Amino acid sequence: FATPATNSNFSVHPEIATRTPPYGKLTKNLTEVRRVLGTQGLTLAEKILYSHLDNVEDALGGRNGKIRGEAYLKLKVDRVAMQDASAQMALLQFMTCGLGGTAVPASIHCDHMIVGEKGADVDLPKSIESNKEVFNFLESAAKKFGIQFWAPGSGIIHQIVLENYAAPGLMMLGTDSHTPNGGGLGAIAIGVGGADAVDALVDAPWELRAPKILGVRLEGELSGWATPKDVILNLAGQLTVRGGTGYIIEYYGPGVQTLSCTGMATICNMGAEVGATTSLFPFTPKMTSYLNSTRRAPIAEAAEEANKSHNFLRADTNAAYDQVITINLSELEPHINGPFTPDLSTPLSKFKDVVKENEWPEQLSAGLIGSCTNSSYQDMLRAEDLVKQAAAAGLKPRVDFFVTPGSEQIRATLERDETLDVFEKAGGTVLANACGPCIGQWKRSDISKGDTNAILTSYNRNFRARNDGNSQTMNFLASPEIVTAMIYSGDMSFNPITDTLPTPSGQPFQFSAPSGSELPSQGFELGNLALFPSDSTPSPSTPVVVSPTSSRLALLEPFEPFGSTDLKGLKVLLKVKGKCTTDHISAAGSWLKYKGHLENISNNTLIGAMNAETGEVNKAYDANGDAFSVPDLARRWKAQGLSWLVVAENNYGEGSAREHAALQPRYLGGKIILAKSFARIHETNLKKQGVVPLTFASEADYNLIGSCDSVDTVGLYDMLVNRGDGEVFLDVTKKEDGSRHRIPVKHTFSKDQAGFVLAGSALNLLSKKAAT
């Protein structure tokens, strides 16, 4: 795809230099990595990760090749991005460090707090007004510390990062789990909690256990209705929500060259749904086209050079993967995943039967396209093509249709090219360039809470209540094309590839496979320039106001240190059954407004979790049988000076980078989470906030422990003091009869992480180090 010849807005951004990965330094480090590791072939992920090591020899030397899954890497990242909901806590933590500016370039994106209801023109000003205090806080802190501030309406973090900051070979952290979207442009982009982001912002190396590498070999070429989204919907079905844990997913093979850059971003974005640390693609000509089209031609040239001189941006031919999955794009059919979990994957041709078998609703209640996952120019043009086909046949959508552009740049371009007009003429509602319904900020009036209904979205995540706060809304994920076609039937069993629709003329109508160009031939419009960030020089005199009476923001107090003995007399607050995602632990939606106020947001702690002993949600019982909501019982115990633990099943903390899911239990007196297994980001977040994540050595021991049982740790203190070395046990006293038994448990503490818990939190340790 050629660089646009004429674009009134085409200019090289003045900050292009700060947006170009430091290829000179990175390729020099790569040479050092090769020296230390010898002749071993490297995957692309290894090249980028290891070239960001603070000290190559320390991390990789003398390990006899035993690195993946074992070594702890201390990494110096190039950039940080934060969304408005998580940025509040990240900045409150950063402010306790007393620094005048950030050590690496950073950006804040106001996207999560904007409601989707009537359309951008009405929703955006309303959301700005209702979140004024928080946006002012973020903007003033950004100005003071030299962070780029992307105002409400500018777009969704991952889309803006792709359009402006992601680049081949870059390593960045984002305080949002879908940060891996940047892998579509060949970056290692990892979702983390705010405390991890603070590491990078203060120039401390960020620690990560070296991931294993899962190679996904793509063969063939997509055609017809199959889209990049279907690659990841299919892969999620194969891997399940836990299958990517501890891995980076690296795509390779001839099929890679056929995918658009934004399509690759969609695939990487949803790697978060299988628990992968991140996902990425090698540098391809499609990336060059996208960089050129988004006014970053110099970055494409520099990447080309680094690739030519050091083979930096693709895997070595003799690279070995820990696991390989092959997907033939030519044979891939569209998929629909859900409800309630992104790995419940059904090929479109079987969906009709599966709907019947499971007695899912036969009617759709709404279709939503766009979001950070699927709002590229290509996505929208292909959806537009279907809308035009239907309109020509005299058809109108049978259910509500919402469109969320991912950024102002996309919105303005689609407006110029009249795509939005086509959607609106069909009755679609164009929402603000923000998260809206993707993060529970969807104000619906068509259904009431508790109504069972089915929606189809082109988003990435579909946990219960994720979109509209209604746990009975069955949310299914598909490509924008499938969502768009299906709204014209409104029937869940409609297959747009094979089925026809009746038309006013009496002629049956069948969709043709959608088409649409990857990039706009006239280039991208920038849109409203007032939404773009200005200068990023710190302005130390800028006041950052946090009112002591605010219900939205509160300065942080440090957590108390661990103490100098093992923990005694912890009580089990709740034994959780089944899925317990960060949405269950710290709900989003209406709670987003308290993200900067730990005391207030703690009132949602674990309110979505199911009590394994009673089957109730948000119900916990004190030892005398009195019933409470989970946060109320936690507060009651805190007031009594009792510390507690939670017992849970697999993949605890699945989902997002939301560090509130760790901060809140910590704040309310939680000391341990004992689970069958953890999601990676959440396990790290717990350690950073001083909560101890432990797993059962034998999963069957989950049955040996119940609510209000009393727990003493054995060996935990010594293990922490010995920087992660040593065995840990839990002595459990049963509440029923006072009988005692010992449960062996496992942990994954690194040296540094043990230090966080001993100090009370990572931030306590950082502040202590800064003071000495």
Catalytic residue ranges: 111-112, 176, 461, 656, 658
Encoded one letter per residue, x for contact with ligand F3S by CB under 6 A and - for no contact, window 323-362 reads ----------------------------------------
| Of the candidate residues 52, 178, 212, 682, the single one contacting ligand F3S (CB under 6 A) | 178
Torsion-angle region of residue 406: left (phi > 0), alpha (psi -120 to 50) or beta?
Answer: alpha
Smaller CB distance to ligand F3S: residue 78 or 583? 583
- Report, in Å, the least distance between residue 373 CB and ligand F3S: 6
Lookup result for tokens 């203190």: 717
Q: What is the DSSP string of 678-730?
A: B-HHHHHHHHHTT-EEEEESSGGGGGG--TT-EEEEESHHHHHHTTT-S-EEE
| Of the candidate residues 37, 108, 141, 156, the single one contacting ligand F3S (CB under 6 A) | 156
**Secondary structure, 3-state, 194-214:** HHHHHHHHCCCCEEEECCEEE
Q: Return the exposure string of 234-246: e unless at least 16 CB atoms fall within 10 Å of the residue's CB, then b.
A: bbbbebbbbbbbb
Smaller CB distance to ligand F3S: residue 220 or 589? 589
Smaller CB distance to ligand F3S: residue 83 or 260? 83
Instruction: State the Cα–Cα distance between residues 733 and 739, nearest whole angstrom.
Output: 6
Site for ligand F3S in 370-389 (CB under 6 A): 371-372
Alpha helices in 109-156 (DSSP H): 120-130, 132-145
- Report, in Å, the least distance between residue 406 CB and ligand F3S: 8
- Report, in Å, the least distance between residue 437 CB and ligand F3S: 9
Instruction: State the Cα–Cα distance between residues 350 and 661, nearest whole angstrom.
Output: 37
Check if the beta carbon of residue 79 is closer than 8 Å to that of residue 102: no
| Of the candidate residues 231, 438, 645, 720, the single one contacting ligand F3S (CB under 6 A) | 438
- Report, in Å, the least distance between residue 83 CB and ligand F3S: 6
3-state secondary structure of 433: coil
- Report, in Å, the least distance between residue 35 CB and ligand F3S: 40
In a 10 Å sphere around its CB, with 0-12 CB exposed, 13-18 middle and 19+ buried, how is residue 568 labelled?
Answer: exposed
- Report, in Å, the least distance between residue 404 CB and ligand F3S: 7
Encoded one letter per residue, x for contact with ligand F3S by CB under 6 A and - for no contact, window 449-488 reads ----------xxx---------------------------
Q: Among the candidate windows 68-76, 290-298, 431-439, 523-531, which touches ligand F3S by CB under 6 A?
A: 431-439
Amino acid present at 207: E
325, 321, 334, 343: which is closest to 218 by C-alpha? 325
Stretch (H or E) spanning 293: helix 285-293
Smaller CB distance to ligand F3S: residue 374 or 453? 374
Distance of CA 482 to the CA centre of its chain: 23
- Report, in Å, the least distance between residue 438 CB and ligand F3S: 3
Does 166 contact ligand F3S by CB under 6 A?
no
Phi/psi of residue 279, each to 5°?
A: -135, 155
Residue 405 C-beta-side C-alpha neighbours within 13 Å: 24
- Report, in Å, the least distance between residue 579 CB and ligand F3S: 18
Does 435 contact ligand F3S by CB under 6 A?
yes
β-strands 692-696, 710-714 pairing: unpaired
Smaller CB distance to ligand F3S: residue 457 or 753? 457
Smaller CB distance to ligand F3S: residue 86 or 750? 86
Q: Among the candidate windows 205-213, 218-226, 434-442, 736-744, which touches ligand F3S by CB under 6 A?
A: 434-442
The token duo for 163 is 């359009």
Lookup result for tokens 């209705």: 225
Instruction: Report CA Rg, the chain.
Output: 25
Smaller CB distance to ligand F3S: residue 108 or 439? 439
Q: How many residues bind ligand F3S (CB under 6 A)?
A: 14
Smaller CB distance to ligand F3S: residue 29 or 279? 279
- Report, in Å, the least distance between residue 326 CB and ligand F3S: 28
Does 277 contact ligand F3S by CB under 6 A?
no
Check if the beta carbon of residue 680 is closer than 8 Å to that of residue 687: no
β-strands 345-347, 335-337 pairing: antiparallel
- Report, in Å, the least distance between residue 191 CB and ligand F3S: 10
Does 265 contact ligand F3S by CB under 6 A?
no
Q: What is the DSSP string of 532-560?
A: S-------TT------TT-SSB-PPPPPP
Smaller CB distance to ligand F3S: residue 178 or 671? 178
Smaller CB distance to ligand F3S: residue 277 or 753? 277
Residues paired with residue 116 on neighbouring β-strands, in sequence order: 442
Instruction: Report CA-CA distances (Å) from 600 to 171, 549, 591.
Output: 34, 12, 9
Does 157 contact ligand F3S by CB under 6 A?
yes
The token duo for 200 is 């990078």
Smaller CB distance to ligand F3S: residue 157 or 231? 157
Contacts of 297 (CB under 8 A, 6+ apart): 3, 12, 291
The token duo for 343 is 């790995």
| Of the candidate residues 78, 84, 176, 230, the single one contacting ligand F3S (CB under 6 A) | 176
Instruction: State the Cα–Cα distance between residues 291 and 308, nearest whole angstrom.
Output: 18
Check if the beta carbon of residue 645 is closer than 8 Å to that of residue 673: yes
β-strands 429-430, 171-174 pairing: unpaired
Encoded one letter per residue, x for contact with ligand F3S by CB under 6 A and - for no contact, window 104-123 reads -------x------------
- Report, in Å, the least distance between residue 468 CB and ligand F3S: 14
Does 173 contact ligand F3S by CB under 6 A?
no
Smaller CB distance to ligand F3S: residue 76 or 461? 461
Encoded one letter per residue, x for contact with ligand F3S by CB under 6 A and - for no contact, window 283-322 reads ----------------------------------------
- Report, in Å, the least distance between residue 601 CB and ligand F3S: 17
Amino acid present at 536: S
| Of the candidate residues 158, 296, 577, 660, the single one contacting ligand F3S (CB under 6 A) | 158
Check if the beta carbon of residue 6 is closer than 8 Å to that of residue 523: yes
Question: C-alpha dihedral over 690, 691, 692, 693, to 10 degrees?
Answer: -130
255, 65, 92: which is closest to 596 by C-alpha? 92
Q: Among the candidate windows 132-140, 153-161, 287-295, 415-423, which touches ligand F3S by CB under 6 A?
A: 153-161
| Of the candidate residues 201, 439, 478, 662, the single one contacting ligand F3S (CB under 6 A) | 439
Smaller CB distance to ligand F3S: residue 81 or 200? 81
Q: What is the DSSP string of 458-516?
A: SSS---TTTTTS-TTEEEEE--HHHHHHHHTT-BTT--TTT--B--TTS--B-PPPP--
Q: Among the candidate windows 23-31, 154-162, 383-391, 408-416, which touches ligand F3S by CB under 6 A?
A: 154-162
- Report, in Å, the least distance between residue 484 CB and ligand F3S: 18
Please report, as ranges, the residues that interact with ligand F3S according to CB under 6 A: 111, 156-158, 176, 178, 371-372, 435, 438-439, 459-461
